[in-house]
Amino acid sequence: MPETMPETLRRELPATPWMNRCAVMGIVNVTPDSFSSDGLAGSAQAASDQGLVDRAVAQAADFIEHGAEILDIGGESTRPGAAPVPAAEEMDRVVPVVAAIAKHFPDTLISVDTYKASVARAALDAGAHIINDVWAGRADEDMLPLMAESGVPVVLMHNKARWGVATQDAKLGGSYEAPQYGDFMQDILSEMREMAKSAEDAGVPSDLIILDPGVGFGKTLDQNLTLIRDLGAIRELGYPVLLGPSRKSFIGKVLDVEPGGRVMGTAASVSVGVAKGADIVRVHDVRAMTEVVRMTEAILNSGREA
């Protein structure tokens, strides 16, 4: 780790489970407006109150019991059409939850889902181990330097969605409008390669970079399906890959179901993703998806020890 790193960030990380098998990342939304209706912060209450912390700790305990090896804590919804949250408010939501979960579950990896460097730093100080940035360090000029300074794993997500530009459906929810691509997969691979290079140029070690293709962010229905089908091409870039299809609108469009009814569509997406090389899957339904991941791995690995 860099010699300039603050003392608060100088600590040993728990083991990184994605080095040996696909890790399950459980989503802990400390927001009032999650697209999946699982946000733990009530719209009429102070997000930093003890009730929110207690609910988040209880959810963390349930997720860990049922197979989550990483907990992803987010204080701002990325739901299409959601309003931006000031950094101070996001910190009020995230930091007490990160601190409590770190205290109760010291052997579990904690990820902070934010694109704001100030929020990421505060979360790291509180005990987080991973920065998960849906804008890959491009939304805040201080983020890539912080990633380099902190010496923790970082998730860089491909995202060409335009903030606030989304279509809404009363049943299926919102979806970000897709920009024009030339050759879709080649464009994605080129842009993700450049994302990783920008982080490395800023001083982030290559072995700490995790790439997320950004399913649901600025892609059409067919493009989202293609990303999962061709995930192996992204894995060939040489970095671990995180896949986050859970309950997203592309599943709703295929199956004509609301967010709460997308468990089976998520399961199919996760299973194909694991078969194509996903190292981490980010999910809401931890128990069910852990079983999907482990069963898929058992099938893929069958006969290899004979």
Enumerate the active-site residues: 248, 282
Please give the distance of CA 150 from its chain centroid, rounded to a whole number: 19
Name residues whose C-beta falls within 8 Å of residue 122's C-beta, 6 or more positions apart in sequence. 91, 94, 95
Measured distance CA(100)–CA(129) in Å, rounded: 14
Measured distance CA(181)–CA(158) in Å, rounded: 13
Phi-psi region of 221 (alpha: psi -120 to 50; beta: other; left: phi over 0): alpha
Single out the residue of 214, 209, 205, 160 nearest to residue 182, CA to CA: 160
Phi-psi region of 10 (alpha: psi -120 to 50; beta: other; left: phi over 0): beta
State the burial class of residue 254 (Cβ atoms within 10 Å of its Cβ: 0-12, 13-18, 19+). middle
* Inter-residue contact 53 to 97 (CB < 8 Å): yes
